[in-house]
Amino acid sequence: MKNLKTTRIENDGAEVFASVTASGERYPIPEFLVTRFRLLIFGGKGGVGKTTCAAATAFYLALNNPDQSFLLISTDPAHSLADCFGNSPAISNLILNEINPKKYAISFKAHFGKHLRTIAMRGTFLDQTDISRLLDLSLPGLDEIVALLEIADWVHQGKYSSIIVDTAPAGHTLRLLELPEVLRRWLDTLDTMSAKHRYMMQLYRGAYTKDAADLFLEETAERLNRLEKLLRDPAQCRFVPVMLPEELSIHVTRTMIAELRKLRIPISEIVINRLAPPVSDTACRVCVAREASQAVAIKALRRAFADFTLWGLPYFMEEVRGTERLADVWNHVHQQNARNEDNDPQQPVDAAVSIIDIPAVVDNPAPLPQHSLKLLLFAGKGGVGKTTLACASALHLTEVREGEILLFSIDPAHSLSACLRQKIGDTPVRIAKGLSAVELDAEAEFGKWKRNYIAEVENAFKSSSDKSGIDVAFDRDVMERISDLAPPGLDEILALMRIVELMESGAYDLFVLDTAPTGHLLRFLEMPELVEDWLRVFFSILLKYREILHLPKLAQDMVALSKQIKSFRRILTDPAQTALMLVTIPSMLAYEETQDLAIACHRLRMAIPVLFVNMVTPPSFCPTCSALRSGETLILRRYESIFADRHITQIFQQTKYQGISQLIALGQALYSKGSP
């Protein structure tokens, strides 16, 4: 690496960090490479290079501080840290940990299960069998809570000089960082359950002595306090957004930063990845258009993020994989702040400059989805273009088939509005003839469900008004608070319920789903089976205690939901009714994740008729494009080998596709002209 030591320099009156080369040259570098933050979190939209930046930072810190130890963690269910390091030799003072959700869920139940059973026995009328059955149910997102507490504990123990975290794409990262508030509600509810027991002991024995269950609540509350303090301490924690110089990435990053500020999580620097090199006089139209589009985005993001220090990384000709290339990443970093106007690309920023003479699809367009389909999912790694292809496909299908289509986003970090350039909300919005779109508001959906639940609980306890005394008051409080024990994976559940509800309405003939990235999509696809398990347990409990807790509306809703879930499961695994369009790009990290997703879909009996390989560099005599295409060709051959039984459509890289007219053109290019 070219830096030998780090110092501080004055830059426009501000103190910044710099590396000093052997020749005495000084150049500025990000603060997160110098200041020893106890917790360093990289986040952003899918596909922007979070894993690369997190891995390169961890490797940089470990290499430059051999007497200290570092931990690099992935909280993304679709891990790619190991793939990023490839088969490169490990470095002794850097530990990699790709968090295993099942391991942490098992650990949680093994460590806390006994105390939770005790608290539930004291605070509810459920018996030990009922409580055991409830605790044995899978709770999506439980692993995230336990993992976050574990990370805070590791920081507290001081075993590592710094813990670097590679997160899931933006929507699920925000949910991860909101978990302390979720856990606080859990603890408040569990404490309410214990309140009745403490009151009775105080009443009849005259005193109450804390036991193991109370100490468990206190210990967990202390861990939670440490976690919240850590996440909000700018001296110990730093969140580093990573983004691309693209409109969709700016939209997601701006939304993410606004939410992080509400959570008071410190941010001071942003990494802008994959900046195109300056074009030469002999540059091809692809390179010219790419830089022109990027110039517009850079000016926009400098205005949007003027309060932050912006760092740029170039578009590397070879994929950053393995320790040799990871070690070189931060040698190419440079400031991109608004005051550096001299560094702005000088090419004319003309919206008309586009790759109009290079079609998106030249050979082998995809066959049209068959008319019998009810559900069309676009799935893949974050940042491969799922939203764009889902929008383009939905618009095209309205032209070639009859009936109503609903374009539905189940990704917490919604991008339909930005892609369509039209405001989309949580109720269907008309986009074009035969097409509507909706972005689920999980928080609003849960609020509606919670209000209905509490109202019915209150009515149930009113009917028991003849039972005076403390029992009814405590039990009512507990039953109302139980809704706060909802798992953090609730958005997948609510998305499923909303889709089922809309399917039952009969208002739409086809649902086109813009899905969450791989890890959380798989959790969504497994959700119908989990919900059926929950319903079986809840049915038996409601039946067993029908004389004590009479909730007819809830029971009725559960019966209806059970029927709907069974119907949805049949649709999901029927290739005549459901198809999953797999979207990927020609990179090794995407290739590895696409393989994993295809295997998981086969296990779930999901049909994958088409593989879209997006963002392929078109053939060119241009040195830059030729270098990029050379590496991509090897990966394209791998796709052709492992997906030999699937239809593969290559989509050449374009400047951008946003707005209805451009998306319609893309949709027409994606599919063959024949009948489905």
**Does pLDDT of 26 surpass 70?**
no
Range with lowest mean pLDDT among 54-68, 378-392, 443-457: 443-457
pLDDT (0 to 100) of residue 80: 75
Split at pLDDT 50, 70, 90, the class of 503 is: confident
Domains of the chain as residue ranges with CATH: 36-105+143-343 (3.40.50.300), 375-447+483-670 (3.40.50.300)
Residue type, 663: L
Tell me the percentage of the chain whose pLDDT exceeds 90.
30
How many whole angstroms separate alpha carbon 99 and alpha carbon 527?
21
Confidence band, pLDDT 50/70/90 cuts, at residue 491: low
pLDDT for 405 beyond 90 = yes
The DSSP secondary-structure symbol of 147 reads H
Is the confidence at residue 180, as pLDDT, over 50?
yes
Secondary structure of 24-68 as H, E, C letters: CCEEEECHHHCCCCCEEEEECCCCCCHHHHHHHHHHHHHHHCCCC
What is the structure's pLDDT at 403? 93
DSSP code at position 645: T
pLDDT of 94 > 90? The answer is yes
Q: What is the mean pLDDT of residues 96-102?
A: 76
Distance of CA 468 to the CA centre of its chain: 49
Which pLDDT score, from 0 to 100, does residue 115 have?
80
CB distance 349 to 658 below 8 Å: no
Mean pLDDT over all residues of the chain? Answer: 81
Highest mean pLDDT pick, 27-36, 304-313, 619-628: 304-313
At 211 the pLDDT is 81
Residue 489 is predicted with a pLDDT of 61
Q: Give the pLDDT band of residue 14 (cuts 50, 70, 90).
A: very low
The order of strands in the sheet holding 26-29 is 5-11, 14-20, 26-29
Stronger pLDDT, 508 or 456, i.e. the higher one? 508
Kindly report, residue by residue over 463-476, the tens digit of the pLDDT. 655 444 444 555 66
Sign of the alpha-carbon dihedral angle for 594, 597, 602, 607: negative
- How does residue 399 score in pLDDT terms, banded at 50, 70 and 90? very high
Spot the catalytic one: 67, 76, 328, 574: 76
- pLDDT average, residue stretch 146-153: 81
Residue 11 has pLDDT above 60, yes or no: no
The answer on pLDDT for 12 being more than 70 is: no
76 catalytic residue (yes or no):
yes
Q: Tell me, what's the pLDDT at 342?
A: 44
In the prediction, which pLDDT does 376 show? 96
| Token pair recorded at residue 279 | 């074009």
Residue 671 bridge partners (DSSP):
366
pLDDT digits (tens, 9 = 90+) for 546-571: 766 677 777 787 787 788 888 888 88
Q: How many C-alpha atoms does 92 have within 13 Å on its Cβ side?
A: 4
Provide the b/e sequence for 311-328 (b: ≥16 CB within 10 Å).
bbbeebeebbbebebbbe
* Mean pLDDT, residues 611-619 taken together: 92
Flag whether pLDDT at 341 surpasses 60: no
Decide if 385 contacts 581 (C-beta within 8 A). Answer: no
Assign 481 a pLDDT band (cuts: 50, 70, 90): low
- The residue that leads in pLDDT, 395 or 461, is 395
**Non-local CB neighbours of 157 within 8 Å, separated by 6+ positions:** none
pLDDT at 227 exceeding the cut of 90: no
Averaged over 604-633, what is the pLDDT? 88
